[in-house]
Amino acid sequence: MAPERAPPGSRASPSRGAKRARRSLTDGAVEIIRDRILDLTLAPGTRIDDRFLMERFGTGRTPAREAFNRLAAEGLIIIQRNRGAFVRPLDIAQLRPFFDAYAASERLVGFFCRTGEAGLVEALRGIERDYEAALAGSDLLEVTRMNAAFHGRLAAATGNEYVHEFATRLYNHARRLSYLTYLSGEGRDDLRRMGQRIVSDHEEVICAIASGDNGALVEILTRHAAFFHERIIRTVGVVRGFDAPLPAGSKVVSQPRDAAAG
């Protein structure tokens, strides 16, 4: 008896399974590489390509290339013609336009948030519990991940894919800046204090959503964005050279700290 032929299309399942497996590998590669960019293991300005990702993180060629493209789309990798691709630099000159966009995005999220969305308050409370657990364990990367997840859930609740996509891209950059503040001496010392302020703001956000008050939500998110801005400016503005020790017997003329260099 001749072997039974499989009906047309019956081989689609293994193909779908292979695609799911590939997506899973790519998602895993994206998560690993994104985290290494955000925690500054891959330093700003590092030149990267798919071979680098394969050798550094043990990913296959296809997941590495797909991860590379996704991270470029997220803005964490920049591609320069005839030069290759690099981890996006942390450029002080870009802080102002970033925070202009970030503050405007948060206000849009607050305005468009569908506060009556079923399960939204419960979802935010669940994320907030995870945030507080990460804070208690001083897991810096997880702190930034859960904070981004909280804001990402708000952005998703706008029901506007353009607002959501724009906000999500900004949250990735915000995570890297946040991690930088936590790595700084002042950031580590003040981690719990800053975390508690964020917890308090998040609780106000949840209360505004529960009461259906978009006006209050815009106000809270604006204030919350301003606090984030203050944290970053304080971190990048710390100067220790004025207190540097000098060799015994050195004679210098003290200068006021606000004196201009020129």
Q: Average pLDDT for residues 71-87, to the nearest whole number?
A: 83
Q: Are 122 and 233 part of one and the same domain?
A: yes
Last-in-domain residue among 87, 109, 143: 87
| CATH code for the domain of 26 | 1.10.10.10
146 CB-side CA count, 13 A = 24
pLDDT at 26 (0 to 100):
77
- Which residues have C-beta within 8 Å of that of residue 28, sequence separation ≥ 6? 63
Q: What is the pLDDT of residues 7-25, one digit of tens each?
A: 444 444 445 555 555 567 7
Residue 244: which pLDDT band, with cuts at 50, 70 and 90?
low
Tally of structural domains, the chain: 2
Q: Are 151 and 226 part of one and the same domain?
A: yes
Domain containing residue 71: 22-87
Residue 55 domain-assigned (yes or no): yes
Strand partners of residue 86: 47, 78
Query: How many Å apart are CA 5 and CA 10, to the nearest integer?
Result: 10
Residue 126 domain-assigned (yes or no): yes
Instruction: Return the ∠ at Cα 28 (arms to 90 and 47), rounded to 5°.
Output: 35
Q: Are 109 and 202 part of one and the same domain?
A: yes
Residue 11 domain-assigned (yes or no): no
Q: Are 61 and 124 part of one and the same domain?
A: no
Residue 149: which pLDDT band, with cuts at 50, 70 and 90?
very high
Is the entire prediction scored with pTM above 0.95? no
Residue 14 domain-assigned (yes or no): no
Last-in-domain residue among 57, 87, 117: 87
CA 152 and chain centroid, separation: 10
Q: Are 131 and 51 part of one and the same domain?
A: no
